[in-house]
Structure 1
């Protein structure tokens, strides 16, 4: 079978936007058909189309008499693939057009060849004018390439910073490393990177996370297979530090998949009494098991609903990490499909679910114990407002100040905004059970 990367990209984007599939699920299926650099090219195109979707759709709309629907719908995404290449990639215009036109044959509709060819050639001719329009005349969803409901929520929550957040979401994410303290200090691992000619961009002074100047294949990292290092954003690496587990602690990681924070806690405090990691999706726990195995760590891994206690042994926990189900709006730069898979109506439902889980899990915490609430969201509703309400309604819950320079004026937790110190958007609140 003839493979055409543009055809695969169109199928992938169609599955995400029109069928509501996750890019994390769809992209590997298509990449498995390719080898070498072609995998990276497919990823670049898919991520790009999803980053700039409203802008690209606006470009195409202006060149079409009527939208493509039904069985022709995948060709709508093929046009977006073509326009993205012309606008944002270093592929010569003629090559981008010819490869995209060739995809019509692979997608088994030669009748669309003339239309795709005409639209893309017309776009090349009109490109300069359309670029100027996007900058000056377009409404916010097209100008910023985000859904309108999300822009409004950001404007309400961050009247001074909303544009910076939207701009940060459009950037390519950095590659952060977490050094396994069981094998190396941050300094000794930095020396190994230098020996391997891998350039370091920065070190996070709080967590000792290391960011590289450019992303590389994980297998090129010294000792990756031996468990010396893992890939994890610096914002996510704050969890183990803030939870501050002690020797002999009984620890619960709630909503644990894919297991990065579970492993980090075990790396930092190998002499805890026990680690239990739960997640509602049994299929996602495979990743937790894989990560534990590579790092030679052990935990009790259970498929369980954190809003219930039917899985619980009855022994209270000293430390609980609740990485709550959330909108994911802090990690859009890593997962641009979040913008289009998430709906405004989801937020209220997520807030309710967070409340239920928080109340349930609190009952499993020992008096004097610590619960760290975490989300990868930037929406105050899921974060500071959620915790403020919980503390007000829970007599034995005391908020512990997280004295970071980035802490909010009200000091209700720590909101990290996307691209702040090159980190993902994240929120933490630390609670102690007083009696």
Structure 2
């Protein structure tokens, strides 16, 4: 079995699990990559899975135009294989003769010999009628930018002047951003070490702990990673440490804390006593692993942040972050499978959960304390909608103005949209509790 055929067949099986069975891209990719010792195979598989998930809504729709009868239900792996073939042709721009031949051979490898002729015919038809099909796909925002129709419509409704740019930005490879652990190194020293290892790296223009590399790489092989000199964190996720005005001695809560990047950043900034609360037991070890590698200390509790009886000892917090569970619509460029798994019907439940967590955590905030509500959502209902409803029902909550070098003001708080300053999409609302309020 040849190397190229093996990778394409493996990619088809994995992509079917992601797109048609609802499995996580990260988890499926990790399992699939473990079967490939060769670095070239791993690179190809990574590209096929990432771009296959990113562009699935576009090329899934293309197959509906190319096939007389859909096969996604009865032959999901072959359907996914054909999506990866179109990705090779149109996104990765691989040679047509090689991609078509390898895809057809992969059908045999997947033990579907009766579908060999179908696969060959579909891809040949795409090549003959390519311009016609591309024009039809480009006619609507959803298939032009490979977003589910409900999300394309929601973004157009919330950000009518920016919708086209936001949808396009979600399909552009993001830079790799690092956060230097200032307790162990300086930004200049880490940058110098990375350049010495052949990396192109620049300090971020206004995020004081951030370094920017133009492309993704295996960070575990970079100098300083094992020693805990830096962590991977998009610049938008580094903003909370700036907004919270952290100081030594503060009692700090990070609700919904996994994987722990914001918690670690807060501890790197000041000698705070931090409690990290995470509801998903399977994600909590990531917090502890990050703390250990970076040489930091915090208390980690597995509990529902909205049930304070399960984790609060009665000592009020001076600062807190609520990185609320959300639609993740602002980080689709890094997590392309979000567009495959999130549904419009999910938003009502998320909004209810966000409001519940915000109200519960507010009661543990000390008078004069500050709470930063954060989501990686672009949808106003999850952002100023949640915060506005909360503030309207409280006489002890004051909105503290937020302004950043990129992004735009929301009705309450501040919104970064994907592509603003080459950052992920993220929302921030800073609230202060009346100094006369009782915790």
TM superposition score normalised by structure 1: 0.94
Give the secondary-structure state (helix, strand or coil) at the position aligned to 2:12.
helix
Question: Deviation at 1:202?
Answer: 5.2
Aligned pair count reads 431
Find out whether 1:363 has 2:363 as its counterpart.
yes
Alpha-carbon separation, structure 1, partners of 2:205 and 2:33: 33
Give the secondary-structure state (helix, strand or coil) at the position aligned to 1:313.
coil
- Counterparts in 2 of 1:140 and 1:244: CA distance versus 1, 3 Å: same
User: Which residue of 15, 40, 44 corresponds with 1:13?
Assistant: 15
The aligned counterpart of 2:414 is 414
Alpha-carbon separation, structure 2, partners of 1:422 and 1:21: 28
Contact 2:256–2:323 (8 Å) recurs in 1: yes
Alpha-carbon separation, structure 2, partners of 1:219 and 1:354: 34
The aligned counterpart of 2:299 is 300
Contact 1:240–1:268 (8 Å) recurs in 2: yes
Question: 366-375 vs 311-320, which deviates more?
Answer: 311-320
Alpha-carbon separation, structure 1, partners of 2:324 and 2:61: 36
Alpha-carbon separation, structure 2, partners of 1:12 and 1:101: 18
Question: Deviation at 1:139?
Answer: 2.6
Question: Deviation at 1:425?
Answer: 0.2
Correspondence 1:134-153 to 2 at 5 A: 134-135=137-138, 138-153=139-154
Question: Deviation at 1:314?
Answer: 1.9
Question: Deviation at 1:158?
Answer: 0.8
4+ residue runs of structure 1 moved beyond 4 angstroms? 405-411
Alpha-carbon separation, structure 1, partners of 2:127 and 2:156: 35
Contact 1:279–1:304 (8 Å) recurs in 2: yes
Contact 1:176–1:233 (8 Å) recurs in 2: yes
The aligned counterpart of 1:423 is 423
The aligned counterpart of 2:387 is 387
Correspondence 1:189-338 to 2 at 5 A: 189-201=190-202, 203-269=204-270, 271-272=271-272, 274-309=273-308, 310-338=310-338
Question: Deviation at 1:406?
Answer: 4.2
Give the secondary-structure state (helix, strand or coil) at the position aligned to 2:374.
strand
The aligned counterpart of 1:164 is 165
Question: Deviation at 1:386?
Answer: 1.6
Contact 1:207–1:241 (8 Å) recurs in 2: no
Alpha-carbon separation, structure 1, partners of 2:203 and 2:269: 21
Question: Deviation at 1:336?
Answer: 1.1
Contact 2:182–2:209 (8 Å) recurs in 1: no
Alpha-carbon separation, structure 1, partners of 2:157 and 2:371: 29
The aligned counterpart of 2:130 is 127
Question: Deviation at 1:128?
Answer: 3.6
Alpha-carbon separation, structure 1, partners of 2:381 and 2:388: 10
Alpha-carbon separation, structure 2, partners of 1:410 and 1:171: 24
Deviations 1:222-280 (A, max 9, x none): 211000011100000011121222111111111010111111111111x22x2111111
The aligned counterpart of 1:45 is 48
CA RMSD for the aligned pairs? 1.8
Question: 409-418 vs 365-374, which deviates more?
Answer: 409-418
Structure 2 segments unaligned to the other structure (5+ residues)? none
Find out whether 1:377 has 2:380 as its counterpart.
no
Alpha-carbon separation, structure 2, partners of 1:83 and 1:194: 37
Alpha-carbon separation, structure 2, partners of 1:195 and 1:410: 42
The aligned counterpart of 1:64 is 67
The aligned counterpart of 1:433 is 433
- Counterparts in 2 of 1:70 and 1:406: CA distance versus 1, 3 Å: closer
TM superposition score normalised by structure 2: 0.94
